Amino acid sequence: MLSQTASSHSVTVGLVGQPNSGKSTLFNALTGLRQHIANYPGVTVEKKTGRLDRNGRRIELVDLPGTYGLSAFSPEERVVSQFLLQDGAQALVNVLDATQLRRGLMLTLQLLEMGLPLIAVLNMSDVAERNRQPVNPERLSAALGVPVVSTVGRRGRGVEPLTQALDDMLDGRVRIATRLPDYGPLEASLTKILEALPDGLRTRWLGLHLLEGESDARSLIGKYLSGEELERVLEVATGQRADFAQRQGISVADHIVGTRDRHALEIEAGCMPGGQPGRIPLSERVDRVVLNRWLAPVFLLATVYAIYHTAIVQGYELTHYTWPLLAGMRNLAAEWLPAAGFLYDPLTRSLALWLIDSVNTLLNYVPIFLILFALIAILEDSGYMARIAFILDRVLHRFGLHGQSTLPFVLGGVFAGGCAVPGVMATRAIPDPRARLATILTVPYMNCLAKVPLYTLLIGIFFVDHKGLMLFFIATITVMVALLVARLLTVSVLRPMETVPFVMEMPRYHLPTVRGVLRPAFDRTWLYIKKVGTIVLAVAVVIFVLLNLPGLSKDERAQFDQRAQVSLQTFHASIAGNPHAERFQDPGILLDALNLSSAYRARRMNLSTPEAIAALDARTEAAHPELFAYIRPGGGDRDVRGIQRALRQLDQERRTLRLEMQETRIVNSLLGRVGRALEPVTQAAGFDWKINVALLSSFAARESSVATLGVLFQQEEGGAQTLEQRMGAAMSHEHAALVALSLIVFFAIYPPCLATAIMVRIQTASTGWMLFSIIFPTVLGLLLASAVYTTGVRYQLDALTMMASFWTTALALLLIIGLWPRRRSTPPPRLAEDTGGA
C-alpha cells in the first residue's frame, strides 16, 4: 500500500532524532536547505520541511524537533508525538548518534511502536570508530528488523545510500519486520487497551501511553472518539494501570522504561562486540579543565574578550580599505545624478545621496561582522557554545531564569551579532512559565547585530586605543543588567508562577570545518546586508521626509538667496579684467566648474600615490578639457591662477551656505523639533537634539541610528570624510567621551526595536507586557546614562575611569544579589548522561 501511494503522490517522511545526533545537519545534506545549527539541545523548536525529488517522486522531509522521547513533558516531545499521530507521516528516518547508541535506542523503540515504516541512521559513525566503539550496522538491522545506514552527516558521507534505502522502502523493495520489546506481564493489559481502541489508533505506543497515564493522552485521542468512547477507553486504561501496579508492585511507567532500557542494552551489546567502553573520551578530559568550577568563568571571559578584540580591532583595520571603495561609489553616483544647484539641489539628487550615505555608513562595518560571525561559528561548530550554556546556567538559576534561557540569550546576541526577534521566539522551548516570561523581557538587552554599528562608531572615535576593552565592557554590562532585571521581575510580579527543573546534554567537541564556519558567517553577513538594503532604506526615506518638512521659511530662503548673490557678485568683481572672466559670466559654466571642483576634490582625497593622482588628472582633463585648467591645483599662468583662487573662495562660501541652510532646515524640521523638545529630559545624559533624533529613528531599526547620525553630521558637497572623522570634529568638547560612554550605556539598555516589540506581544499574548518591554528599558537606560554622565562631569572623571567605576558597581551589585542565600524552588540543573567523546 505504501509503494502504491508513494509512486503516485508526494510522500511525507519525518526526520526524528535526539538532540545533538546530527539530525539537522543531515537534513541540510539531504535537502540542500540551510538552517541554523548549534550544539545546543532544542535548536529546532519548530518542524522544518524540505523537498527531496527522487525518481519522479516528491518527498517532503520534515525536520522534527530534537527530543529524547515521546512523552508530554516538553514542548518538543508534544510536537513530535502529535505530528506522528495526526499529520500523516508515511515513513520515518530515525537519526541515531553512534556514540550514544543505548540512549538513542530508547527513542527508536518508541518510534517502532508507532507502527510506521522506519529507517535507522547511524550518524557520527566515524567518531564511534575513532573511540574504538564501532557499531555493526548489519547486526543492528537484524536486532531492530529495519534497514540501517551508516552516515557522517558533517561531511556528507552516506547520504546517497540513505536516499537509496529510502527509495527502496517507499517502493516496497524492503521487507520490514520490526522486533519490539516484550513487556511481559504488561502485555495482557496492553492487549485489552488495543482492543478498546478503533483501528486507526491501534498502535502499541498509544496503548502504552494510555497505560502510563500521560496527561496528553486524552487530547491525543479525544478528536477521534466520541465522549462515551473516550471515557470507556480511559476507564479501561485506568483499571489496567491500577491492576498492574497492585499485582507487580511497580508502576506501569517504571516497568515500561525499565523494559525498554534492558532491550536497548541487549541490542547495544550485540552490535558492539569489539568495543572498549573503558576509554575516557577526549571531550570528558577537556571538560575537566574547561568546566572546572574555578577555571570555567576565567576561560569564558577570556574567550569573550578574545572574540571582541579580534573582531573589532582587526576588523576595524579592514574598514580603512573598504571606506575608499564605498566613497568612490558614492562619488560615481553623484556624477550620474542630476547636477547640484548653487544652493538648492534637485529632489532626486538629494534623496539618492541621502540613501547612499545611509547605506555606506553601515556597509563599512561588513568586515567586522564577517570576522565576528566566523568566530561565533567556531564556538558553535566546536561544541564550546553548549559549555557556555552550562556555565551560565549556574548563574541563571540565581536570578530566577532557566537553563534553557541561554539559547535565547545567545541568539539575541549575548556575545554580539544576534537578533532579539529569533531570541524571543526561541523562548517557546522553555517549559517554565516564569523563566520564559522573564527571558522574553530580558532578551532585548543583549547585543543584537543592529546595535554593533553604533558601538563601533563611538569606540572608533573616542576609544581608539581601547577597542577590545570597551566591547568587553558592553558585552558584560548588558548581561549584568539583564540578570538584575530578571531577578527584579521574578521576585515581584512573576513570583507566583511555577518553575520546573532543567536537564541539558553536553555534545562532543569537534574540530570546526571550513564549510561549517564560513557558511554561517557569510549567511549572517548577507542577512545584515539585506536588512541594510530593505529596512534601513525604508527608515532612511521616512527620516529624510521628517527632516525636510516643513522646510525653510520664506524669510530664511530669502536670506540665503541674498547671501548667495553677494558671494557671486564678489566672485565676478574679483576676476574683473581677467582675460578668462568672460567664460564665467555664463551661470551654467560657473556652476559646472564648481561641481567639477567638488567631484575632483572628493576623488583626489582617496588617492595616495603620484601615479594615481596623475591618472585622475588625465581622466578629468579628457572629460572636461575646457574647465580642468581652472580647478587643477598649481597649474596655469598668473591669469589662470587668479581664476583658481576666486573659484576656491566662491566654492568655500557656497559650501558654508549649504551647510548652514541644511542645518537650519533640520533644526526646524518635524524630527528636529521632537529632538529639541526632548533635550530637557536627555541633557542630564549629555544628549543633544541630534542624538535624540538618531535614537528616535532607531526604534524602527537599530541600524538607523548610525545612518541618521551619518546625515545629521553631514559633510560638505564632494567631501569624502568618514562619519568617525565628521563626528569626532563636531564632538570635540571636553566631555565628549563621557557623552559617548553614556550613549553606549543607554543604547545597550534601549527598548527593543519595533519588530522585537511585536514579537514580545505575540509570545506573551499581552499588550501590557509589550508596553512594559518598551517603557521600562527607556526609563532605566536614561537613569543609568544620566548617572554615568553627571557623575563623570561632577567629579572630573575621564570616560575610562567612569566606565570602570560603573562596571565595578554593577558587578558588585550582581554578586551581592546572586550570592545572597535563598531557597531554591526547583531542583538544581544537571547534565544528561553523555558517555561519548570526541
The verdict on 569 and 579 lying in the same domain is: yes
The verdict on 625 and 705 lying in the same domain is: no
Structural domain includes residue 272? no
Most confident range (mean pLDDT) of 304-308, 725-729, 785-789 is 785-789
Is residue 20 annotated as involved in ligand binding? Answer: yes
Is residue 634 annotated as involved in ligand binding? Answer: no
Q: Tell me the per-residue pLDDT of 57-84, one tens digit each, with 9 for 90 and over.
A: 888 888 888 888 887 666 667 778 878 8
With both helix axes pointing from N to C terminus, report the angle between 433-442 and 467-490 in degrees, rounded to the nearest 10.
140
Q: What are the two backbone dihedrals, phi and then psi, of residue 696, each rounded to the nearest 5 degrees?
A: -65, -40
The verdict on 645 and 676 lying in the same domain is: no
Count of beta carbons in the 10 Å neighbourhood of residue 497: 16
Is residue 637 annotated as involved in ligand binding? Answer: no
Is residue 488 annotated as involved in ligand binding? Answer: no
DSSP 168-235: HHHTT-S-----PPP-GGGHHHHHHHHHHS-GGG--HHHHHHHHHT-TTHHHHHHTTS-HHHHHHHHH
Per-residue pLDDT, 209: 87
The verdict on 716 and 627 lying in the same domain is: no
Indicate the residue type of 495. R
Average pLDDT, the chain: 80
Separate counts of helices (H) and strands (E) for the chain: 39, 8
The CATH number of residue 85's host domain is 3.40.50.300
DSSP 831: E
Q: Is the pLDDT of residue 45 over 50?
A: no
pTM of the model: 0.63
Burial group, residue 408, by CB count within 10 angstroms (0-12, 13-18, 19+): buried
The verdict on 612 and 710 lying in the same domain is: no
Per-residue pLDDT, 42: 37
Structural domain count of the chain? 3
Is residue 94 annotated as involved in ligand binding? Answer: no
The verdict on 778 and 649 lying in the same domain is: no
Is residue 66 annotated as involved in ligand binding? Answer: yes
Structural domain includes residue 516? no
CA 330, 336, 339: angle at the middle one, nearest 5? 100
Most confident range (mean pLDDT) of 142-156, 377-391, 522-536, 603-617 is 142-156
Is residue 19 annotated as involved in ligand binding? Answer: yes
Per-residue pLDDT, 723: 62
Structural domain includes residue 222? no
Q: Is the pLDDT of residue 616 over 90?
A: no
Is residue 123 annotated as involved in ligand binding? Answer: yes
Structural domain includes residue 292? no
- Indicate the residue among 628, 645, 667 that finishes a domain: 667
Residues of the chain above pLDDT 70, percent? 85
Is residue 213 annotated as involved in ligand binding? Answer: no
Answer whether 467's CB lies under 8 Å from 312's CB: yes
Is residue 1 annotated as involved in ligand binding? Answer: no
DSSP 112: H
Is residue 792 annotated as involved in ligand binding? Answer: no
> 3-class SS at 586?
coil
Per-residue pLDDT, 380: 78
Q: Is the pLDDT of residue 598 over 70?
A: yes
With both helix axes pointing from N to C terminus, report the angle between 767-794 and 433-442 in degrees, rounded to the nearest 10.
50
The region, left, alpha or beta by phi > 0 then psi within -120 to 50, assigned to residue 346 is beta
Gap between the Cα atoms of 684 and 50, Å rounded: 54
Burial group, residue 86, by CB count within 10 angstroms (0-12, 13-18, 19+): exposed
Query: Which are the contacts of 72, defined by CB distance < 8 A and separation ≥ 6?
Result: 78, 81, 214, 215, 216
Is residue 554 annotated as involved in ligand binding? Answer: no
Q: Pick the closest to residue 154 from 507, 527, 525 (CA basis).
A: 507
Structural domain includes residue 594? yes
Mean pLDDT for the stretch of residues 763-773: 86
Is residue 126 annotated as involved in ligand binding? Answer: yes
Is residue 63 annotated as involved in ligand binding? Answer: yes
The verdict on 545 and 616 lying in the same domain is: no
The verdict on 575 and 721 lying in the same domain is: no
Per-residue pLDDT, 729: 66
Q: Tell me the per-residue pLDDT of 323-344, one tens digit each, with 9 for 90 and over.
A: 788 888 887 888 888 888 888 8
The verdict on 753 and 694 lying in the same domain is: yes
Most confident range (mean pLDDT) of 106-115, 123-132, 308-317, 634-643 is 106-115
Is residue 32 annotated as involved in ligand binding? Answer: yes
DSSP 533: I
Is residue 28 annotated as involved in ligand binding? Answer: yes
Answer whether 73's CB lies under 8 Å from 48's CB: no
Q: Name the pLDDT band for 828 (thresholds 50, 70, 90).
A: very low
Gap between the Cα atoms of 553 and 144, Å rounded: 84
Per-residue pLDDT, 36: 39
Is residue 45 annotated as involved in ligand binding? Answer: yes
The verdict on 607 and 673 lying in the same domain is: no
The verdict on 745 and 804 lying in the same domain is: yes
Per-residue pLDDT, 701: 66
Most confident range (mean pLDDT) of 134-143, 421-430, 653-662 is 134-143
Is residue 75 annotated as involved in ligand binding? Answer: no
**What is the residue range of 132's domain?**
2-170
Structural domain includes residue 745? yes
Q: Pick the closest to residue 758 from 674, 703, 701 (CA basis).
A: 701
Gap between the Cα atoms of 191 and 671, Å rounded: 74
Indicate the residue type of 570. T
- Indicate the residue among 170, 201, 221 that finishes a domain: 170
The verdict on 680 and 767 lying in the same domain is: yes
Per-residue pLDDT, 288: 86
C-beta contacts of 301-306 below 8 A and 24+ residues apart: 301/476, 303/379, 303/384, 304/415, 304/472, 304/475, 304/476, 305/468, 305/472
Structural domain includes residue 439? no
Is residue 42 annotated as involved in ligand binding? Answer: yes
Is residue 18 annotated as involved in ligand binding? Answer: yes
- Indicate the residue among 141, 170, 199 that finishes a domain: 170
CA 732, 328, 592: angle at the middle one, nearest 5? 95
